[in-house]
A = this chain, B = another copy of it.
Amino acid sequence: MSQSINQLEQQFHRIAQLDHASTFLGWDQMVMMPDAGNAPRATAMAELASLRHELLTAPAMSDWLDEAAVELDTGSVDASQANHVAEMRQTWQQAMALPAELVHALVLAGSRCEHGWRTQRANNDWNGFLHNFREVVALSREEAQCRQAQAPARFATPYDAMLDLHCTGDNQALISQVFSELKAALPELFQQVMQKQASVPTKDLGGHYSIKSQQAMSEELMRLLGFDFSSGRLDVSIHPFSTGVKGDQRITTRYRKTDFADALQATAHETGHASYESGLPEETQFYPIGRARNMCIHESQSLMFEKQVFLSRSFSRALIHLLHQHLPATKVFNSDDIWYAQTRVKPSYIRVEADEVTYPLHVMLRYDIESALINGDIEPDVIPDVWEASMQSYLGLSVNGDHAKGCMQDIHWTDGTFGYFPSYTMGAVNAAQLSATMKSAHPNWQKQFASGDIQFLLNWLAQNIWQHGSQYSSQELMKRATGEGSTATHLLAHLKSRYLDEID
């Protein structure tokens, strides 16, 4: 082992321990902490972030990285270490990209805009929001330009530099290509599905389901999906999320007394995220090379569990017995009743409530706007008009000036999180593509799903995705697993099969 790589590893090991602290303090904040704990917690989290930044940008880091580069060039360090060093360098570069004043201004403008948004959204106050949001966009453009200037060879557009933070390796050219295929097919497809579904009346799953029983059912589902409760927990929070470290995965869901399906779907989704994190390589867990690849892959794992498994017609046959047992009020339904009710398609305003077929259209609408915003092609004040036009053309809906169900519905942009939205749909694309390959390797998959046995799928994902961490780029990872880079073909085939042919 070279001394420079050894020193880099020591530094990243320390950083990982600070991340461990922030991870569980963040979980506690969302799940356990009493109100008055917020002020001291915010102070502590900010200090941990400062300490982390100091360690990551310590003067010696660039020397160690340069030495490691020379050692790789001269062959005194094995070439197998190249990606390890490259991932450390990229993490370091991302931290070095922005001047401290810009980071400070972004945090201030972002928290002001997000804070204002919480009431402005309720009051449909677009102008009030715009006043704060203009500054967020201006600073985010500056951020994107700084990041692009740091690595012009990697980023063809400023927006590419923002994508790099979330969809690392999947650039605007690739995503636009995938999205254009979807855009060409989905508006017609969802109309066909709606026509077909119009003739089938579905049962209303509403009823009264005790929270305690729903919780027991959620835990059963997690066990079925391979979750190990000796290395994780399920709790409740306002918005479901997943976090943790290898050996200690914390996921959350939320329950409504009148509905059981939503909580289960969220549980399946978060179990997917947690399973990916659990399956990451042990030996590199504290280094960038050992991390999850990017959010397009991460979301593919949650959607694999949620859409490809939990929402499949076959798997619902495995679930029905457990449902009848834990929630006796569901005994009036058979598995197809539940499956039909959970797979209804209807265009709607709110992204997070959208069905599987129309969801990508919500994402593409946002992708079009945020990429144009960051690249300087449109200004923030035209967003409502662009939103309205896209809603009409993609989904046939008008928000009629009600921005709470339009361009003010999401939190993402309020603090400058640009480049995240596409990961939702790239995740769906990757999940369908991985699923197609996995299924062709396991022709009996439907029988196994129906018996509640998905071990073969867990093994396949562990081998093809989880164990690789960030060893390969996202597209290389997809190619190795499925023979091709991300393509819309399989998601479209999946949607047609499930919603037109009603096969799984």
Contact = CB atoms under 8 A, between A and B. Distances in A.
Interface in A208-235: 228-233
Contacts of A232: 34
A40 B20 contact: yes
Nearest to A32: B233
Interface string A26-50: 0010001111111111011001100
Interface stretch (A99-107, A125-133, A244-252, A343-351): A244-252
Interface size class of A (residues with CB under 8 A): 20 to 34
A356 B404 CA distance: 62
Interface string A231-243: 1110000000000
Contacts of A248: 33-34, 36-37, 40-41
Given A34-B232, A34-B248, A231-B34, A43 B28 contact: no
Contacts of A25: 21, 24-25
9 contacts: A17-B47, A18-B48, A21-B21, A21-B44, A24-B25, A34-B232, A34-B248, A36-B248, A39-B247
A183 interface: no
Given A44-B17, A245-B40, A247-B40, A28 B34 contact: no
Given A21-B48, A51-B51, A40 B233 contact: no
A32 B34 contact: no
A14 B196 CA distance: 62
A47 B245 CA distance: 16
Interface string A3-21: 0000000000110011011
Nearest to A230: B35
A327 to B, nearest CB: 21
Given A14-B51, A40-B246, A40-B247, A233 B21 contact: no
A353 B40 CA distance: 36
Contact of A37 (B36, B43, B231): B231
Interface of A: 13-14, 17-18, 20-21, 24-25, 28, 32-41, 43-44, 47-48, 51, 228-233, 245-248
Nearest to A38: B247
Contacts of A14: 47, 51
B233 A35 contact: no
Contact of A229 (B18, B34, B39, B47): B34
Given A28-B28, A39-B247, A20 B34 contact: no
B17 A247 contact: no
Given A21-B21, A25-B25, A36-B228, 5 more contacts: A17-B48, A20-B43, A21-B44, A34-B229, A37-B245
A50 to B, nearest CB: 8
A33 B43 CA distance: 24
